[in-house]
Chains A and B, each alone.
Chain A
C-alpha cells in the first residue's frame, strides 16, 4: 500500500476560474491509497511547496501527485520539493489540469471539472506502480575538440585551454587565422588584422594544452556528450625534398583518434560566389570584384603590395563603386537575409580607399545602413562626412561594360531618379553564406542546419551557442553571419559552456529511460532501427539488445516495437499504461 498525497493548484484563476476545485477535492479523496487531498492558490510558490512538505511529514506520504500545469513547467520543481522532504523524486507525478483541461475547456465548467478528476484518477493508477529510482552517473572525458582555426575557433580553444583542459584544434587549411587572416585593416580603428591575429595564433600554437592539427579534417564522430570518439585525418604537407629522402609519402593521410567530451564548431563562412550575380557582371568583367578581393588588395603582403589597383590594367581606380546587399536581402533570386557585416566593412574599405586615393570618388549603393554596434554608426557617419564617401540610397540594378568602361545603374530613392555611374572598379559586397562543406560536417556531428546551411542553435534567444545535440557548441559565422567582436563573444560563450560541462565530476542522466530485460529479450533487433537517438545496439556476444543510457531519451519507441515486452521505460511500463487506461475507462 502506498500513501499518496494529492495537491491541487488553483494557478490563481487559471485553473480555479474554470474548474470546480471543491468538487475535485471531494472526488479524488475517494481514490485508492489517497491519504490526503488539498488545494492551494499557487502550489509552486514557497508556501505551496511548504504545504506539500508539511503533509509529507504529517501524513507520512511516500508518493505525491500535483494537479497543476504542464510537467514541462514544474515537474522538476515538485520533484525537488519531494526530495527535500525525503520522498524519492520519481514518486512524484504531475496531473496536467491546466493546459489539458481548464485552458482548453474555458466555457465548460462541468466538463472541465470531470476531465480534471479523470486525469488525476489515471495518474493515481500510474503512481501505484511507480518505483523509486536514482539517476545514473556517466563518465566525462575532459578534453575538447574545436573544429576551425579562425578567430572563433582560436578564441574558444584558448579559453578552454587557459582553464586547464586539453584542446584539440582541427583546421582544414594549412594555417591558422581563417577569414580574419584574409582581411586588411579592421573597423573601427583600421588596426591591421594580421598584426592582431599574430598574437592569438602565437598563443594558440604555443599553448601547452592545445594540440593544433592543420591540413586536417574531422572524418568521423561517434558517441555522445562527455564521451565522443572523434577521428581526424591529417594530410601530409608536400615534402620540400623528394619523398624518398624524407620517407613521407605525400597525400597519404595520417589518422588520429581522440576521446572528446565536448565539441565547438567554428567552421566559419563562404562568400556568395560573385559569378552567381549575373546582373552585376560578377565573373564576367575583371574590374568587378568582391569584398575579400578588395581586402587582399589593401594588404601589404597582398598581390598589389597594399596598393589599390584595378585588375584589368593595373591602373589606380579614380572612381570606385561599392554595391551593398549583393546577393543579400533578395528573397526572389539570392539570399533573403541580411549578411550583417557588409555595411561596416564597406564603410571601412571606402575610407581606406579615400586615404590612399584622396582625389578619387567613392560611391556606395545601399538599401539601409545597418550599423548597430558600439561606435558603428559614428564610423559610417565619418565615412560620409570626413572622407566624402558618396552614399546613394537605392539598390544597384545592373553592372555592365560598355565602350570599355564599367557602368553601374541604380536608383537614388531619395530623389526618385535613376543613377548611372561610370566606374573604374566595382566592389560587390556579396552575401555571407554557409560553407559549402557545412552540411557534410553537420551530418557527421548530428547537428541540424537551417534552410541556408547555417548550424542551428538550440534556442534563438536563450540557448544561442548550443546546438540541439548535447555537447556540441557553436561559435562564429558557421551559425550566422557576424563580425569579429560578436564572433569572439560567441566563442568565449561556447567555451564557457564547455567549461561548465567539464566542471562536473560526472555526468548525471535521468533514470526514466528504457531498459531491456535480458531474460525476455529474444534478440530480434527491431528496437535498433526504431530508436531515433541511436541508443540501441546488439550486445556483442549475448545476442540481446542493449540500451546506451547516455543517449536514451526515454521516448518509448522501442517499447512499442518490442514484440514480447522485454523492453520497457522505467516508470512508464506497459503495466502502468494499462492501469491508467483501465482507470480512465
Chain B
C-alpha cells in the first residue's frame, strides 16, 4: 500500500532518527511512504482566533500538495497531524472561509484529502496482527509505558481515532511487538508542551507526574508517538534528581524505533545518540 507522507520539520531535523525508523518500519510491513514532492511547514499550531485565514494558509498549502499526489496523506508528527487534520475539517465545513482561503493561496481545494496519523494507518490499514507476524525479535520482557500526549486525542471530535480518555492503539502495537505495556493513568496527561521553553520548571513537574506514575506501574521505559512529548519526557529528566531525590531515569523511545528493532531491521540510523537518557544500557540488557 502506497501513501503520501508529510515528514514535517521536526522529523526532518531533530527527529531524523524517528523519521528513519518510521520509513523503515512501515516499509517492512508493506506500507510504502511516498514523501510529498513539495511541502512546507504545517503551521505548527492550529489557530484559535476567529480570523484565522493567514494561519490556515500554511497547512492548507500542504493539503493542496497532498491532494495533487493522492487521496490520503499521513504524517508521523502528532503536531502536524493535529494541525492538518483540523485545518482539513475546517475547510470541509466552512464554505465561505474556504473560498477566501482558496483565493488567498490561489488554489481550488475543498478538503478532498484524507489526513491520517501513521499509527492510525498501522492499526487499521496494515493491522497489528500483520505487524506481529513480521516480528523477528520480540521485545520480550520489556515493560513499557505507552504515552500518547494530547495531539492525536484532543479535541476528540476533530482528531481522535482512539478513546481520548483511555487510548490503547500504542499499547496494542507494543503487545504485537512482544513487549508488555503497563497500565498507568497518565497516558494522555499533558507533558507541558511548549512551556518547556518559557517555564521549564512547570514542564519538569508535569513530566515527573507522568514518569513517576509509569515507574509505579513497573515501567522500564516510556514509548511515545509524539516528538514534542519525547523531547520533554527525555530532556526534563536531566535535572529531575535535583528536585526529586532518588529519581531513577527512564529511557523514552519512539514507537517506530522499537518497531524497527522488533522487526529485526538495521537500527543504526535511528538517532540513538540524540536521546538525553541513554537507551542503550536497557537495550543491551534485553539483548536488543
Contacts and interface: CB of A to CB of B under 8 A. Distances in A.
Q: Do the two chains bind?
A: yes
Interface of A: 278-279, 284, 332-333, 398, 400-403, 407
Given A332-B155, A333-B156, A400 B164 contact: no
Given A333-B156, A400-B185, A278 B216 contact: no
Contacts of A407: 185
A402 B156 contact: no
A278 B213 contact: no
Interface in B127-147: none
A403 B166 contact: no
A402 B185 contact: yes
A273 B155 CA distance: 21
A398 B166 CA distance: 12
B46 to A, nearest CB: 16
B184 interface: yes
Interface centre among B156, B166, B184, B185 (most CB of A within 10 A): B185
Nearest to A333: B156
B155 A279 contact: no
B165 interface: yes
A332 B185 CA distance: 23
A402 B165 contact: no
Given A400-B185, A402-B184, A402-B216, A284 B156 contact: no
A278 B185 contact: no
Given A400-B185, A402-B213, A278 B165 contact: yes
B163 interface: yes
Interface string B153-173: 001100000011110000000
A279 B154 CA distance: 13
A284 B166 contact: yes
A406 to B, nearest CB: 10
Nearest to A400: B185
Contacts of A402: 184-185, 213, 216
Q: Is the interface of B mostly helix, strand, loop or mixed?
A: loop
Interface of B: 155-156, 163-166, 184-186, 213, 216
Contacts of A278: 163-166
Nearest to B163: A278
A396 to B, nearest CB: 13
B86 to A, nearest CB: 15
A400 B165 CA distance: 10
B74 to A, nearest CB: 26
Contacts of B155: 332
18 contacts: A278-B163, A278-B164, A278-B165, A278-B166, A279-B165, A284-B166, A332-B155, A333-B156, A398-B185, A400-B185, A400-B186, A401-B185, A402-B184, A402-B185, A402-B213, A402-B216, A403-B216, A407-B185
Nearest to A276: B165
A315 to B, nearest CB: 22
A333 B164 CA distance: 11
A277 to B, nearest CB: 8
A408 to B, nearest CB: 12
B79 to A, nearest CB: 21
Nearest to A403: B216
Nearest to A407: B185
A398 B155 CA distance: 16
Contacts of A403: 216
Contacts of B184: 402
Contacts of B216: 402-403
A400 B166 CA distance: 11
Contacts of B185: 398, 400-402, 407
Given A278-B164, A278-B165, A401-B185, 10 more contacts: A278-B163, A279-B165, A284-B166, A332-B155, A333-B156, A400-B186, A402-B184, A402-B185, A402-B213, A402-B216
Pick the 5 closest A-B CB pairs, nearest first: A278-B165, A400-B185, A279-B165, A402-B185, A403-B216
Contacts of A284: 166
B91 to A, nearest CB: 21
A333 B216 CA distance: 31
A402 B166 CA distance: 14
A65 B166 CA distance: 71
Nearest to B167: A278
Contacts of B213: 402
Contacts of A401: 185
A279 B186 CA distance: 11
A284 B213 CA distance: 18
A468 B243 CA distance: 66
Contacts of A332: 155
Contacts of A333: 156
A383 to B, nearest CB: 30
Nearest to B166: A278
A333 B186 CA distance: 20
Nearest to B213: A402
Nearest to A284: B166
Nearest to B186: A400
A278 B167 CA distance: 10
A284 B183 CA distance: 13
Nearest to B165: A278
A352 B35 CA distance: 64
A286 to B, nearest CB: 15
Nearest to B189: A398
Contacts of B186: 400
A115 B185 CA distance: 73
A126 to B, nearest CB: 45
Nearest to A280: B165
B56 to A, nearest CB: 22
B160 to A, nearest CB: 11
B148 to A, nearest CB: 13
B258 to A, nearest CB: 25
B201 to A, nearest CB: 15
A409 B156 CA distance: 21
A136 B155 CA distance: 59
A21 to B, nearest CB: 47
A398 B213 CA distance: 15
Nearest to A277: B165
Nearest to B216: A403
Nearest to B156: A333
A382 B185 CA distance: 36
Contacts of B163: 278
Contacts of B165: 278-279
Contacts of B156: 333
A407 B184 CA distance: 13
A411 to B, nearest CB: 14
B208 to A, nearest CB: 13
A332 B157 CA distance: 9
A48 B185 CA distance: 77
A401 B164 CA distance: 17
A400 B187 CA distance: 11
A402 B213 CA distance: 7
Nearest to B164: A278
A403 B216 CA distance: 7
A174 B184 CA distance: 43
